[in-house]
């Protein structure tokens, strides 16, 4: 792959990754509309509708045979672990949203990029620039301030952060197309999800017993709400280094912070404002550094082209 192809490869990954994160950020609006249902039952239906969605997509694209490699024990183990981590992440996030703890999801997704960048540096041996280390330092300080502000261990935030960081790392090690990988993970979760839904159905407060027609329509769309951004994320994870993908993740918690504070009126004391401000300082450092490096890269490329043209014989 030449430099131009590499740049196009990276650019497409960044664009798709940013779009996925915007989708995830505003998905909080969707799940909050279903906040009077049990979170675990919602996750059960989310998995089942996601399975239906990917089954249709794989049938239309004729990709069922591409799932055969998943039957290999080593790959099956990785996919199963990814499915478990995905379930933990979904459940923690939905539980927080439907229980009016949107700001805690913001904290979780602010922590996650730090973990992603550290995994990229220490596990995948991606080189961190000085600006990225500064960003990590500000993020760690923010985590300490925000944790103290809650006055307790923010277990939902930590569950969201750890599960998502580990999931992102595993996606780098699963040699499957984004749609195929997503399908394999969801299909492995179908039986547990069906059991959860069946048990919940016996309750008088279950979704089939109390949901309106509009709410059932919303719930039926949970497959698309789930699969579209996850497939986009998998596409980006295979094209963008984790040290680059990590900072982009700040899009999600920033959106959740604004939604929790401005729309859902969750308390935002000064200590939390300071904590989130520290994160934004780190993000600003990363942004400025990335812009400078992009400009320098363009200038270097232009200089190399000029030298090549000068070295060519006149025609």
What CA–CA distances, in Å, run from 98 to 43, 254, 264, 314?
A: 12, 18, 11, 70
Which of the four pLDDT bands, split at 50, 70 and 90, describes residue 298? low
- Look at residue 127 and give its three-state secondary structure: coil
Task: Tell me which long-range contacts 136-139 makes (C-beta under 8 A, separation of at least 24).
Answer: 136/282, 137/282, 138/278, 138/279, 138/281, 138/282, 138/285, 139/110, 139/111, 139/113, 139/114, 139/278, 139/279, 139/282
Which pair of structure tokens corresponds to residue 225?
């709400």
Q: Average pLDDT, stretch 77-95?
A: 94
How many Å apart are CA 277 and CA 38, to the nearest integer? Answer: 33
Can you give the three-state secondary structure of 214-249, one letter per residue? HHHHHHHCHHHHHHHHHHHHHHHHCCCCHHHHHHHC
Residue carrying the six token digits 């994870």: 237
What pLDDT is attached to residue 295?
65
Contacts of 147 (CB under 8 A, 6+ apart): 107, 153, 154
Single out the residue of 54, 41, 40 nearest to residue 188, CA to CA.
Answer: 54
**Element holding 34 (H helix, E strand):** none
Which pair of structure tokens corresponds to residue 207?
């979704």
Single out the residue of 25, 24, 37, 26 nearest to residue 216, CA to CA.
Answer: 37
Give the angle 190-171-89 at the CA atoms, nearest 5°.
Answer: 55
Would the CA dihedral through 195, 200, 202, 206 be positive or negative? negative
pLDDT digits (tens, 9 = 90+) for 271-296: 888 988 887 788 778 767 766 776 66
Q: How many CB atoms lie under 10 A from the CB of residue 239? A: 18
Q: Average pLDDT, stretch 225-229?
A: 88
What pLDDT is attached to residue 276?
81
pLDDT digits (tens, 9 = 90+) for 15-70: 888 899 899 899 999 999 999 999 999 999 999 999 999 999 899 989 899 898 88
Does residue 97 surpass a pLDDT of 90? yes
pLDDT digits (tens, 9 = 90+) for 147-194: 788 787 788 988 998 998 898 888 878 888 878 888 999 999 999 999
What is the number of residues in the chain? 315
């Amino acid at each position: 792959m030449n430099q131009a192809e590499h740049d196009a490869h990276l650019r497409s990954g960044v664009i798709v990754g940013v779009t996925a994160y915007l989708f995830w950020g505003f998905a909080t609006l969707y799940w909050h509309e279903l906040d009077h249902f049990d979170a675990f039952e919602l996750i059960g239906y989310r998995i089942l509708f996601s399975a239906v969605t990917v089954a249709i997509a794989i049938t239309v694209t004729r990709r069922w045979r591409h799932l055969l490699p998943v039957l290999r024990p080593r790959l099956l183990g990785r996919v199963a672990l990814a499915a478990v981590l995905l379930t933990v992440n979904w459940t923690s996030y939905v539980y927080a949203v439907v229980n009016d703890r949107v700001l805690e999801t913001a904290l979780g997704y602010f922590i996650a990029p730090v973990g992603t960048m550290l995994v990229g540096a220490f596990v995948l041996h991606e080189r961190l620039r000085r600006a990225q280390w500064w960003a990590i330092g500000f993020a760690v300080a923010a985590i300490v301030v925000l944790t103290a502000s809650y006055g307790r261990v923010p277990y939902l935030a930590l569950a969201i952060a750890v599960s998502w960081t580990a999931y992102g790392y595993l996606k780098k090690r699963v040699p499957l197309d984004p749609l195929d990988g997503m399908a394999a993970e969801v299909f492995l979760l179908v039986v547990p999800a069906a059991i959860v839904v069946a048990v919940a159905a016996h309750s008088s407060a279950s979704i089939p017993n109390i949901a309106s027609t509009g709410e059932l329509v919303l719930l039926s769309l949970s497959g698309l709400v789930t699969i579209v951004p996850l497939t986009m994320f998998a596409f980006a994870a295979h094209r963008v280094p984790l040290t680059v993908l990590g900072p982009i993740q700040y899009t999600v918690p920033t959106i959740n912070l604004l939604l929790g504070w401005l729309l859902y009126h969750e308390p935002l004391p000064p200590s939390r404002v300071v904590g989130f401000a520290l994160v934004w300082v780190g993000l600003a450092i990363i942004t400025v550094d990335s812009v400078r490096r992009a400009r320098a890269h363009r200038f270097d490329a232009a200089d190399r082209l000029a030298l090549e043209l000068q070295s060519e014989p006149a025609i």
